[in-house]
Amino acid sequence: MSIPNAKLDTELSINNKAILPIADHLEKEESYLRLITKRFFKHKLAVIGTVIFTLMVLVAVFAPLIAPHDPYAVEGEFAAAPTADHLLGTDEVGRDLFSRLLYAARVSLSVGVGAVAIYVTIGTILGAIAGYFGKWVDMIIMRITDVFMSFPYLMVILVLVSIMGPSLFNVILVLGLLGWPSIARLVRGSVLSIKEMDYVKAGVALGYSTPKIVFQHILPNCIAPILVNATFGIASAIIMEASLSFLGMGVQPPTASWGNMLTEAQSITVLASQPWLWIPPGIMILLSVISINFMGDGLRDAMDPKSLK
């Protein structure tokens, strides 16, 4: 009976030795995420920004349930002052401004998230390819990046949107296709340093495929700078959409966006005597950009490797 028991003990010992490294890795990963989360929630402005942005997202999602009126229906006097029935008054054609403000959150936030999702994907892939392969591949991609970065950003966007036609989809597409160079350069720099580490060289020696090495072992270690950059990018995209809509080249009425609601502010009469037409969308843009920037600051501080202890 002692022989089988010895054999069983040996097998259990071997299994434990195989499982322990995995358990240690999972524990370290969990502790790292916990540390980042703890540091993020110690950043008071980041927490405030997260709360404000979360409320805006909830407002955008549940706008049909919250809005007291149809945002496209003419239900009041033209440019009427705020009343009990129309909390923020009505616009120049008699539509309820409060309802349009809630629905506009959907459009403006969609532009920010959609454009960033496109250019982060493009920039991450191109930056990873340039950094990993180097040599002539790196040279070609970086020269293309330099060309894109040399263009006057706003002028190119205005030209492309005017050619393609001002619409929500075209604004998201143009902003996404032109915003990738900064992410590409950021990812390239990270990949250049990470690919020299021992675990990457070990993966190459073991015969792992290039996509597996790049996407499973290198890019996960580049998440921190990508995430921080993307956070600030959402704020920039919201401002850009508002700028385009203010100039008449963004989202077109009757679809509401915070930018095209601000077009009324072009009139001196409106600025002076009808502030309910432009102050609410201006405040929403301000709050969204500030809250996202606070979140970005918190993420940057929480993920700073020099301060992670």
Q: Report the chain's C-alpha Rg in angstroms.
A: 26
DSSP output for 92-118 = TTSBBHHHHHHHHHHHHHHHHHHHHHH
CATH superfamily of 45-302: MetI-like (1.10.3720.10)
Phi first, then psi, for residue 95 (nearest 5°) are: -90, 145
* Residue written as token pair 């392969």: 133
State the pLDDT confidence band at 10, using cuts at 50, 70 and 90: very low
Q: Bigger pLDDT: 3 or 142? A: 142
Q: What is the pTM of this model?
A: 0.79
Mean pLDDT of the chain: 81
State the pLDDT confidence band at 118, using cuts at 50, 70 and 90: very high
Q: Could you tell me how far CA 69 lies from the centroid of its own chain?
A: 30
Angle made by CA atoms 64, 68, 71, in degrees to the nearest 5:
65
Contacts of 213 (CB under 8 A, 6+ apart): 132, 200, 203, 204
Q: What is the dihedral of CA 212, 214, 217, 222, to 10 degrees?
A: -150
For position 5, what pLDDT does the model report?
53
The stretch 269-290 carries a mean pLDDT of 85
**pLDDT tens readout for residues 41-89:** 888 888 999 999 999 999 999 988 988 888 888 877 777 788 888 888 8
For position 249, what pLDDT does the model report?
83
Give CA–CA dist 65/68, Å, rounded.
8
